[in-house]
């Protein structure tokens, strides 16, 4: 199918956790990271059972919540996986849904800047999972470097402002501590971040 991309799942009626108002979470397959406690491991595996949809098919699937979206200032949250790997899809979707729905991405920002930049005129809010700003902790946890993440975040804030960016600073059992998290927050504040979401990752250790 032309323009079709793979989704690992959908969740209707999410409240504020995945964006403002009532949103439907649409989770793309595929991610550049390999987090030790990946919350969606099926988004990484080849051969995962996915649903392939074009932007129009996704619109047809989610539009039954149009009234909820309009009444609450909600819309669609693109997650994953990594939604910033699907920029052309999201542009096409924005054209189809128009300007009234809010569109959000849940992202690690660990992608080339050109992909982030290409979304600033179609995405209303960015929910950035920063993991930890310490490069060693980040690498141990994700197996990747975080210099690009911090650079992208700084540039993103300069373009869209702080209100459109919510940064998740998780406590990651066995990888960081409250002290590390406080250091991450201090560094992020210096970069201009004002909105934080503090959470603890669920793992086999703390289930």
The residues binding ligand SF4 (CB under 6 A) are 31, 33-35, 38-40, 43-44, 80-81, 108
Two tokens, residue 200: 């603890």
Q: Do 144 and 34 meet the contact criterion of CB atoms below 8 Å apart?
A: yes
Minimum CB distance to ligand SF4, residue 32 (Å): 7
CA–CA distance, 76 with 41 (Å, rounded to integer) = 22
Q: Pick the closer one to ligand SF4 by CB: 108 or 146.
A: 108
Q: Pick the closer one to ligand SF4 by CB: 97 or 133.
A: 133
β partners of residue 196:
167
From 198, 113, 99, select the one nearest 157 (Cα to Cα).
113
From 11, 26, 23, 16, select the one nearest 102 (Cα to Cα).
23
Minimum CB distance to ligand SF4, residue 37 (Å): 7
Q: Pick the closer one to ligand SF4 by CB: 103 or 128.
A: 128
Minimum CB distance to ligand SF4, residue 80 (Å): 6
Minimum CB distance to ligand SF4, residue 3 (Å): 23
Q: Do 149 and 130 meet the contact criterion of CB atoms below 8 Å apart?
A: yes
Q: Pick the closer one to ligand SF4 by CB: 40 or 66.
A: 40
């Amino acid at each position: 199918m032309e323009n079709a991309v793979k989704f690992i799942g959908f969740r209707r009626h999410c409240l504020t956790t995945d964006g403002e108002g009532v949103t439907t979470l649409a989770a793309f397959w595929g991610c550049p990271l390999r987090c030790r406690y990946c919350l969606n491991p099926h988004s990484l595996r080849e051969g995962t059972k996915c649903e392939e949809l074009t932007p129009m098919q996704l619109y047809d699937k989610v539009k039954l919540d149009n009234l909820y979206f309009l009444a609450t200032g909600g819309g669609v949250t693109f997650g994953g996986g990594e939604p910033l790997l699907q920029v052309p899809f999201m542009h096409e979707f924005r054209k189809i849904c128009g300007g009234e729905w809010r569109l959000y991405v849940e992202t690690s920002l660990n992608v080339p800047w050109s992909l982030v930049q290409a979304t600033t005129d179609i995405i209303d809010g960015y929910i950035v999972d920063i993991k930890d700003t310490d490069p060693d902790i980040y690498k141990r946890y994700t197996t990747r470097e975080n210099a690009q993440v911090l650079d992208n975040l700084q540039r993103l804030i300069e373009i869209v402002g702080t209100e459109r960016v919510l940064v998740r600073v998780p406590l990651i059992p066995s990888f960081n501590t409250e002290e590390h998290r406080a250091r991450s927050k201090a560094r992020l504040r210096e970069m201009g971040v004002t909105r934080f979401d503090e959470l603890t990752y669920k793992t086999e250790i703390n289930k």
